């Protein structure tokens, strides 16, 4: 359920949002929603950033791989921690836990990417 909110933006901020909306072929409302959601997720998970790519924007560990890539073996193995640990022996355990926590907070977002990756 969406709630209508009226905001006033400085002119420079509005111009930047409009530029992003135009370049991503989104409405102003969609763009503001996306930006707000990403900002909230970034505050919740400071070690995660959002990056552009051929399949769209996605959550990425700071300086590392995409979150969906990290948790994919964990999810496919029935959420087996040891499989995750064995799949990424070079990643710090704290980063692995952040990736799992992000997945638990936003499972649909991650599961869509995992499913897309496993299509023939």
Q: Where are the beta strands (DSSP E) in 1-120?
A: 48-51, 58-61
Q: Determine the structural domain holding residue 59 and report its residue range.
A: 45-120
Identify the three-state secondary structure at position 119: coil
Residues 24 and 78 in one domain: no
Query: Looking at the domain assignment, is residue 60 inside a domain?
Result: yes
Residue 10 scores a pLDDT above 90: yes
Q: What percent of the chain has pLDDT over 70?
A: 100
Which of 5 and 70 is assigned the larger pLDDT? 70
SS (H, E, C) 52-117: CCCCCCEEEECCCCEHHHHHHHHHHCCCCHHHHHHHCCCCCHHHHHHHHHHHHHCHHHHHHHHHHH
Residues 31 and 49 in one domain: no
Query: Looking at the domain assignment, is residue 3 inside a domain?
Result: no
Decide: 113 and 103 in contact? Cβ < 8 Å. no
CB atoms within 10 A of CB 1: 2
pLDDT mean over 85-109: 96
> In degrees rounded to 5, what are phi and psi of residue 51?
-125, 150
Query: Looking at the domain assignment, is residue 51 inside a domain?
Result: yes
Q: What is the pLDDT of residues 47-68, one digit of tens each?
A: 999 999 888 899 999 988 999 9
Q: What is the pLDDT of residue 120?
A: 79
Q: Cα(78)–Cα(104) distance, rounded to whole angstroms?
A: 13
pLDDT mean over 85-106: 96
Q: What is the pLDDT of residues 64-92, one digit of tens each?
A: 899 999 999 999 999 999 999 999 999 99
């Amino acid at each position: 359920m969406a709630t209508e909110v009226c905001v006033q933006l400085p002119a420079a901020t509005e111009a930047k949002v409009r530029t992003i909306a135009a370049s991503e072929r989104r409405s102003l409302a969609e763009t503001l929603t996306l930006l707000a959601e990403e900002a909230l997720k970034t505050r919740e998970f400071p070690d995660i950033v959002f990056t552009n790519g051929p399949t769209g924007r996605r959550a990425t560990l700071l300086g590392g791989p995409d979150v969906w890539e990290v948790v994919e073996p964990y999810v496919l193995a029935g959420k087996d921690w040891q499989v995750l640990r064995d799949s990424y022996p070079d990643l710090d355990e704290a980063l692995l836990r952040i990736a799992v926590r992000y997945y638990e907070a936003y499972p649909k977002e991650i599961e869509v990417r995992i499913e897309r990756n496993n299509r023939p």
